[in-house]
Each structure stands twice: as C-alpha cells, then as structure tokens.
Amino acid sequence: MNDGQAKRATDDFEQALRKSGAEHYVLRLYVTGSTPQSAIAIQNIKSICEEHLHGRYDLEVVDLYQQPELAKSAQIVAAPTLIKKLPPPLRKMIGNLSDLQRVLVGLDLVPAQE
C-alpha cells in the first residue's frame, strides 16, 4: 500500500467513525482557581458532555493556579479555555462555554452555520 492509499484508508476510517458516533473525545478545560467564570465553564462543559457525549469522553480540568507550567506548554493565553484534543482536529474554545451552538460546532457535533 503506498502513502496515498494509506492516507485515503485512514481518512475513510475516521469518517466512518464520525458517522457511527463512536468517537471518543478527550477534552481539557483550563481554569483559574474557583472563580465564578471557572465554575460556570466547568458546569457548562460537564452538562454538554453528559447530554451529547455520554460515555464517550474524558474531561480533565486543570487549575492554572495550581499548575501554571501547563499554561505555557499548552499555549493558553486566557482562561477558561477548553481544548478538544481528540478526535482531530485539535480545537480551542475560550470563555465560559455558555454559547451552546458555538461549543457544539467547536466539538464537531453539529456543522457550522453559514
């Protein structure tokens, strides 16, 4: 199998996974302590995940006050920030995640509106 065929096979497999709804999501939410914005972001993403990704996600919450070195390595410039690591592509969303449509588009759960 040449590189082009392997890439097509991988793309076809990933597309089939997306259609089956079997993709597993790996999410990391960066917050700054126990601020109201942090609490809202945590509550919002947990609610969205339970409703739309039940049983298909891992969510890690990182407090940048406790682990400030992670802000630099993940290139975090504002908090709260949600990073969707898997499935590809990697996406970053900044804010308290209260705009449900924006979050669903960012997680590739619904197509973007034109």
Tell me the per-residue pLDDT of 84-97, one tens digit each, with 9 for 90 and over. Answer: 999 999 999 999 99
User: Is 1 a domain residue?
Assistant: no
The CATH number that applies at residue 102 is 3.40.30.10
Distance CA 56, CA 109 (A): 12
Asked, for residue 14, whether it belongs to a domain, the answer is no
Walk across the sheet containing 25-31 and list its strands. Answer: 57-63, 25-31, 81-86, 91-94
Pick the closest to residue 84 from 52, 111, 58, 48 (CA basis). Answer: 58
State yes or no: pLDDT of 29 exceeds 70: yes
d(CA 64, CA 56): 26
Helix H segments across 33-99?
36-52, 69-73
Task: Pick 89 or 16 by higher pLDDT.
Answer: 89
The pLDDT of residue 2 is 67
Q: Is residue 47 part of a domain?
A: yes
Residues 31-63 have pLDDT tens digits of: 999 999 999 999 999 999 999 999 999 999 999
C-alpha of 15 from chain center: 18
Total domain count, the chain: 1
Q: Which domain holds residue 50?
A: 25-106
Residue 16 placed within a domain? no
